[in-house]
Structure 1
Amino acid sequence: MAVDVLMDKFCQSVATTLAMAETMRNNMRSSRKRKRLSDDASLLRLDGSEFLRGLQEARHDFCDVSLRGAADPTQTDVPWIACHRHVLMARSPWFRRMLRSQMKESQQDTIQLHNIPHDILEQLINYMYSCEITVDASNALGLLQAADFLELGQIVEVCKAFLRENIDLANCLTIYCGAQQLPFADLTAPCRAFALEHFASLCYAAEFLDLDANEICQLIASDELNVEKEEQVVDAVLRWLEHSSDTRMPHVTEMARHIRVPLLAAGYLASLPDSPVGQQLRAAVLSTGESTRALRSSYLSEMVCLWGYNTYSKGKQSGFAATLYRIDPPTSSRWSVGCATPPKSWSGPAVYAVQEGRLRVYVLADVEEAGDPCQLHVYDAGTNEWTELGTFPVPEAILTSVDDRLYLLGGGRVHAYDAEQRQLTARARIPVKRLNSAIVACGGRLYMFGGKMLSSRTDTYQATASAYCYDPASDAWKKLAPMPTARSHCRACVGHDGRIYVTGGYIGGDFNQTIDCVEAYDVQTNQWQSKRAMIVARAQHGLVRLQEQLYAVGGFTTHALGRLPTECYDSATDTWSECALQLPFEQCYMDCAAVQRHIAKKCMQRTDNAEVRD
């Protein structure tokens, strides 16, 4: 009975085909617009849609092979997919080679494909018959992997395009891992770029813990890694190691090499867990961590923030004129100027910070008489306004910061400032009273170099070479090796190699002789080393590090008149050179800093699905 039914269907199909052929012959005879190939022949091009309709109608007739993909763990009985060998060979080069080969599968009536999920295989087989398939977020990656295996080129291109346009936080790492198994650089590249851009969020995803060691290293080694703090990188590595510590600890040294130690806050490594994983990671970072690498790209939008007051204009004293100048010397030679005039003249140095995404500058106002209390002001670049934070009984104060906390040094001791309460807390006494020292923060400690001290013998001020270090954690001062050159009004800055560079200043007792001297202090060995002198001797200048270079800006000199050149120092070659970046005014008191800004980018827009039609 079943054979009779099949034969009836076959006869009906043949009859339909013959009827179509007869109709086409009649149309050919009656057509007046025929392309003549010879006296008694014409070329006829058939519409492919007719063939597809016929193929769909005969979809389950005379099938000679059945396929089945990998079963989902929740499925108990996976049905076979009936199809035709010649259709598979016509649509897929992979099936063509297999079914024409001497492989055992070429002779079997059933073929199991263990590397393709069954639902994905069924969608692709239906596509081979209908030339239509819908690509969406639920199947795009699976279709891509299976289509690449079966060599269905059009499906591959559509799936790649869909995935590129719909990368988001939920699927980025899944696509990234899947695409890395395939030779598709045009898909892995945007996935990797997205992962680097959104690393701070993706490192908490469950998929992040499933990445292999090589994939983790590729991400954290990149200059393009977008993190606000290097501590986020260490935290991510720690979570990855702890997820399967038995098998992942051999990779701890390899990963530690990509941690940029100078960017870590002081004391952070000591705060890591005392677990075996935490201890090994801490030791590996300290011994093999990257100590000379430049900042990551999320910090590359640094700006030099300059405060000057122009004391001379065309040879005449012009008084106070404070202005905020902002620029990125590696990419620009033009100055961006503008800020509201401060309520009073200021006494440097200033403290610069990016808080809540906005630049803020903290300064102390100048006092009319020595011994007067100081006033703390803050400038908000977002609102272009100044705000007075309070008046404090700290005479001859110097403002500085360590790990984003403000400190006032004056009145013979250190004072810590509480920003929320707007209050000062007295801390350790300063070992020796001095003025006009170079002060810089490094590794969570405060370093003070040089300055001028009142001589009890002559009752005059003399430059000093002494140096001290203050540790806020222990609230204690420590005496350091003195500078080779005694001086005041010098400037200090931490180089990319971790050393503290002290430049310029005044020598002698009259403070009218500027020097070009440069000396580097090694915080690890407590030793000094002389470096190449600046091109122009200067004092009260700005000194700032951008990337791997130091910039000396503005200041005063006793060796020349007019505008001072901006100098750039390369510690790798120990050389100074003039750069195109020039001040828009003549000699002036300067203070500057490198301000790091976080770069935020928008995610790609999603599309719901894409349809493929041959």
Structure 2
Amino acid sequence: MAESSSLKPADDKQLKTETCSQPHDILCSLDNMRKRGDLTDTIIHIHKRTFHAHRAILACSSEYFRAMFTSNLSESINGVVHFNNQIDPHIFSLLLDYSYTTELTVTDSNAQALLETACHLQYNKVIDACCNFLIQNLDPPNCLGIQKFSERLSLWNLYKKAQQYALDYFMEVVKHDEYHQLTLQELQQYLSNDEINIDREESIYKAIFAWIRSNDNQELLPSLLSCVRLPFTRPDFLLEQLDNPLIKQNPECADMLRSARNNQLRLREKYLCDSTLIPRYSTKSEVVVVMGGSCSHDRDVFYYNPSTDRWGILTRLPNLDIFDFAVGTLNNCIYISGGIKSKIVSNEVYCYDVDKANWHSCKNFHMPRTQHSSIGVNGFLYIIGDNRMVDMVERFSPAENLWEVVNPLPVAVSSPVVVSNKHKIYVTGGSACSQLNQFQNIQCYDTTNDTWTVIRAVSIPRKRFPAIVIDDIMYILSGYGVNGMQVYDIKSDSLLPPMLLPNKEQNLFGAVAVRDKIYAAIINKHKQRQCDLQLFDPRIKEWQKKTTMPSAVGVDGHCLSIYKYLGPPFSSK
């Protein structure tokens, strides 16, 4: 017997090859085979048309066909599918072509039919494509019809988009046929919605009468008129409508208008305090609010309406013995927190509800603070900093009246300034290590995942200065003169050329963005106890004096914006 020998195999040589076009080539080949009827294993009958296909391709494209062909249904056994009158054969041919080519053209004329068939056959990617097409092509004539169509198919994202579009462009929607085809219940849902975008409450009233005339159903007028917030219509309009023949014929409607007139007189006396009615958001005006300071007479809270160039008194601070507090806004409420109260650092919080025009106290936060900052972001009120160097950050939930501690600052600072953009908070400036050492970077907090990062693209020269964000651009009002305002592009994380700030003879203590312009509250050093409001338009890069405040505010004041109802019955406009 010969002796066996062990031979070592030569080193294996390998060549890995990959043909990127192979998946596409296979689909093209299968599509050609389908068209010739080669190796197909399924026949689909729709009306008088017959389609040949490969069930594996159908199952990969459609959850409906996958379930059909992986079960013991007769279609999976004999390979014959009948749809009768359920599906349009032309639309199915488009989906069948898509299954083999991954290409589909959605148009105005086929979008809804494609979407309906795709929902029936569970072509999920086609559903997404059709929904996106319809969303991109929403307009006043079609949005209500698309909303009804999406409700029937339980496509709730499309439904919400169509509904929101109708609310946003309601003044245009009422001019088209679909508006007059709404049912009573559907119309009431729209007219009662707080988010409906109108210029004034009279627009709702007029829209109701347009619907009543087109549907010739005057009996529904009282139930629809109850959707109008009549006390917020012009007093002269109410008086005029009492002579409207349709109102005269309906005693219930006439009583509603008279009652609204009486409510207007009561509202004028007590603003909105006694009323359960709240004006619609779209009828409110965004105004500049200036408040606070370090002087005992800085108790009045002023507001400035850019549309009318007028000042007014919003309210008075709730406690006369409190200074150096922080101010933040959330859900159109103003929160003041901390500060010095009776010579003691406070952890108290007060909230002013702009709509109800009243103050109430909130739960105290954990660590008493002064010379700190607060800001409302993503449903929470955050407080950051102190006159000491601290890293502890707290946030408040108004719904739960509860404070909680979140991740601390990467670097503890004193007296920082905070500004927000989208869901992030930017902590600018402040002192670190000692009161003499300025922290020159920006600390950024992502409220969605409770994480911090440090931005080093900007060098901050000093502490306690205003910062504003408009369209992802941060304006840091930290200097004086030609290059006094640093400009930081948040998206690109880069500095842009600096811009002009008012000269050093003025003390800028607060600023806020309203309608993409910066309003800065400035103490004029040459005119004792005078505060000016100056306007900066980033597009033309120019400052202009806008107005002088009715009363001066101390150097530690605050500047913010809120939405306030200033229409009827409080004005005649």
TM-score (norm 1): 0.43
Q: Which has the larger radius of gyration?
A: 1
Q: Which has the higher contact order (CA 8 A, sep 6+)?
A: 1
